[in-house]
Structure 1
Amino acid sequence: MNRRNALSAALGAMALAAVPAFAAGALPTVEVFKNPSCGCCGAWVDHLKAAGFDVKVTMVDDTSVARKKYGLPDRFGSCHTAVVAGYVVEGHVPAADVKKLLAMKPVAIGIAVPGMPVGSPGMEMGSRKDPYQVLLVDKQGRERVFSSYS
């Protein structure tokens, strides 16, 4: 093997070795505002961590204060409010949808799963899975369907 091939092989190996470290650090931190007594919110935090997110939890008595601070209308409310990369993520939104939001970078307040639908991440109850939608909320507070789960 000549020096050029050896150098190429070494650089390729180094690049491949760096991929997992880069991928793990590529996701921004999610700050979650939750009530200390809410177990389903903790399960959602675990769901985000399992998907590779770094999560900072801030305990609050009233999550509506965080929703108001970040501009999300209360009608989209759930049991916890999160902020990531300038977006609000309200309720039991699947981590895959958070990643999709970050990749798309829409002009929006964020995404929300209003209420607490059974079967959404953190709201698992055996095999029961109620249909629900993840809503994209624009800067005027209007929503459209971002993802659907049946």
Structure 2
Amino acid sequence: TDWQNRLKAEGFDVRAAQVSNLSLSEQQAMMITPAPMRDCKIGRVAGYSVIGEVPSGDIVTLLRRKPADVIALALDGPAQETVAIHYDGSVERRRSE
């Protein structure tokens, strides 16, 4: 996909695979993620889930900060915002660039 190609061009090692079963942490991330932000594209990076076509800059920011209380990043497409999803179900919005 275009998103995979953009991530590869920015230095990410992308390994695409279709899966029929999500890991427990991916299931938890999807259950906590607000329904409108759930996406069929889900990735894993350094223990975090990435749901939807999250911009690479937001993924890099997540990796630099390494917040212990964040389970996933998700893209709120209509609002063009990346949302950090915390284990307690709260969300932190950050405008995508």
TM score, norm. by length of structure 2: 0.80
Q: Is the 8 A contact 2:58 2:96 kept in 1?
A: no
Q: Which runs of 5+ in 2 are unaligned?
A: none
SS at match of 1:112: strand
Aligned residue number for residue 90 of structure 2:
142
Q: For residue 58 of structure 1, what is the amino acid of its counterpart?
A: A
Q: Which runs of 5+ in 1 are unaligned?
A: 1-41, 118-129
Aligned residue number for residue 13 of structure 2:
54
- Bigger helix share: 1
Give the number of the structure with larger relative contact order, counting CA–CA contacts within 8 Å between residues 6 or more apart: 2
Q: Is the 8 A contact 2:50 2:72 kept in 1?
A: yes
Q: CA RMSD in A?
A: 2.1
How many angstroms does 1:87 deviate by?
0.3
Aligned residue number for residue 75 of structure 2:
113
2:8 and 2:15 map into 1 onto residues whose CA distance is 10
Cα deviations by residue, 1:108-134 (Å, 9 ceiling, x for unpaired): 1021014xx3xxxxxxxxxxxx64110
1:136 and 1:67 map into 2 onto residues whose CA distance is 19
How many angstroms does 1:99 deviate by?
0.5
Counting aligned pairs with the same residue, the percent is: 29
Structure whose alpha-carbon radius of gyration is higher: 1
TM score, norm. by length of structure 1: 0.54
